[in-house]
Every structure is written in C-alpha cells, then in structure tokens.
Amino acid sequence: MEASPPNRPRKPRRRWRWHVPPALVHGGESLEGVQVLDEVQGPLGLLLWETYRDVALWALVEPEERGGLFAADALPVRMAALEAAGADASLEPALRAAAEVLRDPSTAQEPEVTAACRKAAEWAEARGLLATAVTLATGAALASPADASAAFRVGQIARERGENNRAETWFRRAVGLGRQAKDWASYSEAFLGLGNLYKLRGNYPAARRFHIRGLRAARRHALRDIQARALHDLFCIAVQTGPPHEAQDLATLAFRAYGPRHPRLPALSHDVAYFWMEQGRFAPALEVFRAVLPHITSSRERLLVAANAGRAAAGIGDRAGYESAWETVWGASAEWERAPRAAQALLELARGGATLREWSRAERAAEAARDLGQRTGANQVVIESEAVLDNARRKGAVQFGEPVALGESGMEAEDLAADLVRSLARVR
C-alpha cells in the first residue's frame, strides 16, 4: 500500500487589494483651471481660480512638507482680494474657509478644505457655471484623495458639462475608493454614473451591466433610494432595447422601490407615461402627464410635459386637450432658446398634429422643432422633425405611437397609471 502524501502547509490566502485608478484632473486646457477665468470675468474669476490652484498645490504636497508652502503674507493678500471681489454672501464663507490653507498649510484639515471647495462648486453649479464647478469639485477631491463621494461629484459635474472621458475616470476612481473605504453608497452610485455615461454614448449593453452592478450593491447594503434609481435607469434602458413587457415590469419595480411620496416620483411617472405613449397607450399616458404637470414649477421644463400631454390627447382624439398644449408651448416661444428640451416639445406637438391630421400645425411645429434643434445641437430632434415634416407636407397617414400588444402588461399599465396618479396627488 502506498504511503499517503505528507500534509502540505497551506499557503496563506492572498489578500485582494482593490485598485484605485487615477483620474483626469483637467480637460486639456493650456493652464490648469484656466476655464474659470473664461467663465467668470473680473476679480471674482481670478479669486476662484487662485483658490483652486492653492488647494491643488496644498493637496499634492505631503503633509510633513507643507510648512512654508505659501508666502507669509498670502492670507492677508487673499482676504483683501476677497473683499475687493465682492463675492456674494452664499460664496464668501466657502472662499474664506478654503483660504485656511494659506494661514498654516501644515495644520489645515482635509475635511474642512474639501467642504469649502464643495460649497464653492455648488455655488457655481447652481448658476450654470459648470467649468468653474467642475474645477472646484476637483479641488475638493484632491484635498481628500480617499473620499469616494468627492470623486463621484467630479464625475457628475464633468458628465453634465459634456466631458465624458473625464467623467468616466472619476466614476471609476469613485468605485475603487468606495470599495476600499466601504462607502457603499458612493460605490453603488458610481456604477450608476458609469451606466448613465454609457447610455449617453449609445452603448446600452454596457450601460445595463453597470446599472445591474449598482443595483446589486445597493441591494446588498439596503440602500433603497439607490435601488430605486437603478431600477428607474434600467427601465429607461429597457424602453430602448428590450421587449415592452420587460420595461413595464421594471417600471412597476421602480415605482415600488421609490414609494408613493418620493421626490423622484414625478420624473419616473413622466418617463413611464412617455413609454406608454410610444406604445400607443394614449389614455393612461395622458392621465399621468396631467398628474405630473402640477409638480413642474419651472415654466421652461413645463413645455415638454405640456407638449407630451397634447400629443397623448391627440392620440385619443381630444382636440381640446391638444389645443391647450399648443397654446401653452407657443405662448412661451420667448423661452424656447433657454428651455432645455423645447425642440423635443415642438416635435411632440408636430406628431400630435399629424395624428389629428392637422397638417398645417404639424408642418409649422416640425419646422420650428427642426430649426431650434439645429441651433441648439439637438441632432436627433432634427432628424425626427424632418420625417414628420415630410409626412405633413405629403398629408400622410403616419400614426406616431402605433398600439403594441403588451399581453398581460396592458392591464398592468392601467393599474400602474392609477397608482401613479394617486401617489402624485399625495405628493402634491
């Protein structure tokens, strides 16, 4: 009989170290942060740029080497510049707090400097100064290099500004930092950020994978709000890529995850109603669009919801409802250039006009949508407007939003519409 092999000592388990990738600190400008000077003119722009440069320099030097980093009179010079710049009351405290790196670089604390830069970034973002916002948010992330939430915010603002490559590097960094620090909220949200980024690029399979990873992480750690947003995003992807019943199921799951009083419920309701309208289910879509309208306080944002309600009204032959939407959108024509989706609203009115065979209105709205889309860079709207315009000029019979067989989901749509309307009434 053969001797049994000797017991071999077990190898120690190899501990996995999560990789944290670097991120793009700037977008290729000749002088780092210089876009702030282009966006905010005068002494205030210079002050904001200097704040970022000082924080970035302080953050990139090892703590034990920060003594003497700035000139002895740097702080009083900065305070004088702050007084002269005339920063408003909501920004001044943040700039004063960020200037603490000048007082004594060796004792300034990461959390305080990060919070100051974040507040300054919020001030800029609220005013549409996205180049300034992303620069100051980058300063916040540099000041706290292990903070996943700070990295995630840079990614969000960069994506909003259209810097998709830069945004991706910060989202991926937030994933690594969140895993390292067990910051599961930032970890999950960073996957959603990547998913939405890939959705913007039209890469729906990759977008779906990232959203599923974010959803699973949120479920593991009982982060219900993030679960709901992940399901909402997966619904939007399914609308583009999946069978209608899959989108319908995800809409129901997202509604249940949000709950009846969630502030994101109007956004979900609008997206679901638009999905139904595209499937030719105009009656439940119209019911929900009308319930959403009271929740939209911005006159510019109301244009699209009103236009969608008008198209849905046209779908059920409600000419008075279509007429009301027409008057709302055309009455705000002075706002079109500044309204984020005015071109899309005009396109929906054109489709509604075609549905009612009101060819002159369909042609007029399609022309306006095409022209506005060309001016604002809404290329897909331009393409779709041309198709509606051609149909209107030929007095065609295209039905935009042909009814689609949803099987059991058809009755589910009616039930979900009733639930959404009831919930929206409670939120209001």
The string of pLDDT tens digits covering residues 307-357 is 999 999 999 999 999 999 999 999 999 989 888 799 999 999 999 999 999
Angstrom distance (rounded) from CA 135 to CA 52: 7
Q: How does residue 428 score in pLDDT terms, banded at 50, 70 and 90? A: low
Q: What is the pLDDT of residue 409?
A: 55
Tokens of 188: 């999950």
pLDDT per residue as tens digits for the range 84-133: 988 889 999 999 999 999 998 988 999 999 999 999 999 999 998 999 99
Indicate if the alpha-carbon torsion angle 162, 168, 174, 177 is positive or negative: negative
Q: What is the pTM of this model?
A: 0.84
pLDDT band at residue 21 using 50, 70 and 90 as cut-offs: confident
Domains of the chain (ranges, CATH numbers): 32-145 (no CATH), 158-242 (1.25.40.10), 254-427 (1.25.40)
The CA–CA distances, whole Å, from 256 to 185, 252, 260 equal 20, 6, 8
pLDDT number for residue 337: 87
Lowest pLDDT segment from 14-23, 37-46, 350-359: 14-23
Give the closest residue to 190 by CA, choosing from 208, 206, 167: 167
| Angstrom distance (rounded) from CA 329 to CA 372 | 14
In whole angstroms, give the CA distance from residue 193 to residue 155: 8
pLDDT 10s digits, 136-151: 999 999 999 999 999 9
Own/partner contacts of 24-30, CB < 8 Å, gap of 24 or more, are: 24/165, 24/166, 24/169, 24/170, 25/56, 25/138, 25/142, 26/135, 26/138, 27/158, 27/163, 27/166
> By the 8 A CB rule, do 232 and 268 touch?
yes
Q: Residue 13 above 80 pLDDT?
A: no
Taking Cα atoms as reference points, which of 152, 154, 133, 161 lies closest to residue 191?
152
- Cα radius of gyration (the chain): 26
Q: What is the predicted pLDDT for the residue at 426? A: 86
C-alpha–C-alpha distance, residues 31 and 41, integer Å: 16
Which amino acid, one-letter code, is at 359?
W
Helix axes 265-278, 409-427, angle to 10 degrees: 150
Assign residue 222 a region (left: φ > 0; alpha: ψ between -120 and 50; beta: otherwise). Answer: left
| pLDDT winner (highest mean) among 24-28, 86-90, 114-118, 374-378 | 114-118
Question: Which of 151-183 are b and which e, b meaning 16 or more Cβ less than 10 Å from the residue's Cβ?
Answer: bbbbbbbbbebebeebbbbbbbbbbbbbbeeeb
Q: What are phi and psi of 378, to 5 degrees?
A: -85, 75
Q: Would you say 291 and 425 are in contact if contact means Cβ atoms under 8 Å apart?
A: yes
Write down how long the chain is. 428
Tokens of 316: 């059920």
Residue 187 above 90 pLDDT? yes
Lowest mean pLDDT among 3-12, 69-78, 187-196, 205-214: 3-12
Residue 201 reports pLDDT greater than 60: yes
Q: Are 231 and 253 spatial neighbours (Cβ–Cβ below 8 Å)?
A: yes
In three-state secondary structure terms, 384 is helix
* pLDDT, the chain, mean: 90
Q: What is the dihedral of CA 407, 411, 413, 418, to 10 degrees?
A: 180
Distances from the Cα of 286 to the Cαs of 240, 311, 380, in angstroms? 21, 8, 24
CA distances from residue 6 to 11, 13, 412 in whole angstroms, order as listed: 15, 21, 65
Give Cα 155 distance to the centre of its chain.
Answer: 10
Average pLDDT over residues 19-48: 83
pLDDT score, position 339: 84
